[in-house]
Structures are given as structure tokens and as C-alpha cells.
Amino acid sequence: MLVGNYVFQMGDRGAPHHDPDRLTLEADGKYILVHMPDGHPGSTEEGTWQLWSNLGQPQVAFGNGTYPVEIRGKRIRLLVNDDLGYWYEKTGDSGE
């Protein structure tokens, strides 16, 4: 269910601009994070990701971070900073 493509989102329209980084979680446990400065592909980070649970809350770990998973209906988000309203949201082109 978590495998697919994600894009970085910000819930606070008044916050400083953040580039729409693109994240792909692959079924074989690999991830690809493409940093998108000014909306154009820039550097790429690759590695492995894993799903685990913290006190019953599903988490996705990749790179140097762990991100709580939020599922609401068909909407899946990986929460980067819930207080500031930053997250990766699964896109419709994820092979659903």
C-alpha cells in the first residue's frame, strides 16, 4: 500500500517556499528521493526504506529520518513535520 510515488507538500500557504521534492518507495525496499530545486530535477538520493511500528503508529524510515504514516481513505501521507504542516503525499500515478 505504501509503495509508489510521493511529492512534498506544505499545508501552510504562508510558509516559505519549498521545492516539490519527489519520493519513490519501491516494492523491493529501495527509495529514490529527487530534490527539485525550482521545480527541476536536481540531486538524487537513493537507499533503502522500511516500515516499522512505534507504539502502534506505522512509520516509514529512509535516509536520515523516520516519518509517521497517515492514512485517510485513499490518501496516504508521510509526515515530515506535523506541527509545521510538511509531508510527502502519495500521488495518483503510483500504480494504484
The CATH architecture to which 4-90 belongs is Beta Barrel (2.40)
% of residues, the chain, pLDDT over 90: 56
Whether 57 shows a pLDDT value over 80: the answer reads: yes
The C-alpha atoms of residue 60 and residue 88 are separated, in whole angstroms, by: 11
The C-alpha atoms of residue 39 and residue 19 are separated, in whole angstroms, by: 6
% of residues, the chain, pLDDT over 70: 86
Buried b (16+ CB within 10 A) or exposed e, 55-65: eeebbbebeee
Query: pLDDT band at 30, cuts 50/70/90?
Result: very high
Please provide residue 38's backbone torsions phi and psi, each rounded to the nearest 5 degrees. 55, 25
Q: Can you say how many angstroms the Cα of residue 19 is from the centroid of all Cα atoms in its chain?
A: 13
